[in-house]
């Protein structure tokens, strides 16, 4: 077994164990989907190591939606996403598991809900398109954010969580899901 220190896991772990950030956005909260979405992650065997409800400030939202979003989709889209994320409470959580970043992205589905496959969170609970959101000049309501790459997870986690808010523990179900 390979052991190492990693800013994503913040502990010595096997290199395939990762931590990833998930945000349930204001639309997921307003629609009462918190429990259903969290249950999906628990059922697949991911461990919740950090969980809280917060109402993001614009500064925190800008720390999350960094300049790379403006470069990819334009500064106006970034502004709309910051406005959307700071419009109400969100649930922030850190999940841990085997190759968690890729697994969570697969479960969440395509960023554009209309393109998300059935069976994914966005595919089952959302259908909005980028075109529609752009025509209404609003950030896209796609329910959830999940770190896109292993390298993004650590910095994203640090936007939302302090080290003392992340917990290392071993629930019994991990005997069967994180061998």
Active-site residue set? 145
R_g of the chain, CA atoms, integer Å: 16
Angle between helices 34-43 and 100-108 (to 10 degrees): 130
Cβ-contact 44, 103 below 8 angstroms = yes
d(CA 160, CA 7): 14
Tokens of 112: 């554009």
DSSP 83-121: HHHTTS-EEEEEEEEETHHHHHHHHH--SSGGGSPTTSH
């Amino acid at each position: 077994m390979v052991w190492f220190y990693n800013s994503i896991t913040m502990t010595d772990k096997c290199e395939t164990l990762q931590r990833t950030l998930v945000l349930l956005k204001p639309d997921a909260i307003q629609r009462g989907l918190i429990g259903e979405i969290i249950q999906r992650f628990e059922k697949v065997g991911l461990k919740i190591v950090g969980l809280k409800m917060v109402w993001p400030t614009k500064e925190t939202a800008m720390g999350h939606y960094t300049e790379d979003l403006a470069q990819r989709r334009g500064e106006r889209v970034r502004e709309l996403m910051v406005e959307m994320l700071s419009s109400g409470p969100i649930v922030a959580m850190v999940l841990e598991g085997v190759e968690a970043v890729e697994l969570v992205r697969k479960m969440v589905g395509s960023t554009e809900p209309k393109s998300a496959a059935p069976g994914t969170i966005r595919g089952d609970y959302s259908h909005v398109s980028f075109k529609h959101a752009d025509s209404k000049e609003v950030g896209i309501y796609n329910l959830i954010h999940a770190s896109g790459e292993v390298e993004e997870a650590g910095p994203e986690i640090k936007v939302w969580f302090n080290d003392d808010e992340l917990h290392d523990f071993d629930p019994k179900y991990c005997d069967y899901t994180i061998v």
